[in-house]
Chains A and B, each alone.
Chain A
Amino acid sequence: MKISIQKEDFDLGVEVKAISGNPKIGAVASFIGLVRDVEMTLEHYPGMTERAIGGIVEEARTRWQVMDCSVIHRYGVLKPNDQIVLVAVASGHRGDAFAACEFIMDYLKTRAPFWKKEWSAGGARWVEAKDVDDKAAERWR
């Protein structure tokens, strides 16, 4: 199980390969989030971020078969089309891989301490949290 909060970019192929070594793994589902439209600065709470994501991954493991996973979230300055976040889950079968991947992403959105500040011609503004993200996370209760 890999959790990394980093400034650097990441490579999906490398991450998938790293979690697919076990011959019992029959499925890997992955999600990548990209920066839409405007440049942004991402801030996080070092220590708590890793801890929060670790807790989310542990919860996913109690619900589905998660044989390995990789969660990477970037911080710092990011430009349109840059990769922000990766969640990849390896499992025996696709159902568990898909579900765990979506669950981890939905919980990360509402529980991991990251904040986005967008920069546009009009100046800088902190992104507001969205109800739709809370609703997405509530589905899993």
Chain B
Amino acid sequence: MKVKVLYFASIREKLGRDAEEIELPAEVATVASLRSHLRSRGGAWEDALAEGKLLRAAVNQDMSQPTAAIKAGDEVAFFPPVTGG
């Protein structure tokens, strides 16, 4: 299935990209499994999305837990904890 993935702030800078469309294998069906799928690209991906790193994710523009399901056509975003206001 195909999903759109967005990256913001320090994550975007480390990865050198702000968005991409990815074709995912069937077993990648949650936010956490997408994160580890991306991490397996190695290099900057392994660092920016490292397991211990405090990250937030949104699915279709709603703040979501690592266990949240993703499906074809979804927009998934990864970013650091927010610092507005």
A-to-B contact residues, CB < 8 Å:
33, 42-45, 47-48, 51-52, 73, 84-85, 105, 108-117, 126-129, 133
Known contacts A45-B77, A52-B63, A113-B79; A84/B85 CB under 8 A: yes
B-to-A contact residues, CB < 8 Å:
6, 8-10, 54, 58, 61-63, 77, 79-85
Q: Which of A85, A112, A117 is the one whose CB lies under 8 Å from B82? A: A112
A73 to B77, CA, bound (A): 21
How many inter-chain contacts with C-beta < 8 Å in the A-B complex? 72
- Is there an interface contact between A115 and B79, defined as CB atoms closer than 8 Å? yes
Known contacts A111-B63, A126-B10; A48/B82 CB under 8 A: no
- Is there an interface contact between B61 and A115, defined as CB atoms closer than 8 Å? no
Q: Which of A33, A43, A84, A110 is the one whose CB lies under 8 Å from B8? A: A43
A126 to B9, CA, bound (A): 8
Known contacts A113-B58, A115-B8; A45/B85 CB under 8 A: no
Contacts of B9 in A (CB 8 A): 43, 115, 117, 126
Q: Which of A43, A48, A105 is the one whose CB lies under 8 Å from B85? A: A105
Contacts of B85 in A (CB 8 A): 33, 73, 84-85, 105, 108-109, 112, 114, 133
Chain A: CB-nearest residue to B12: A43
Contacts of A85 in B (CB 8 A): 84-85
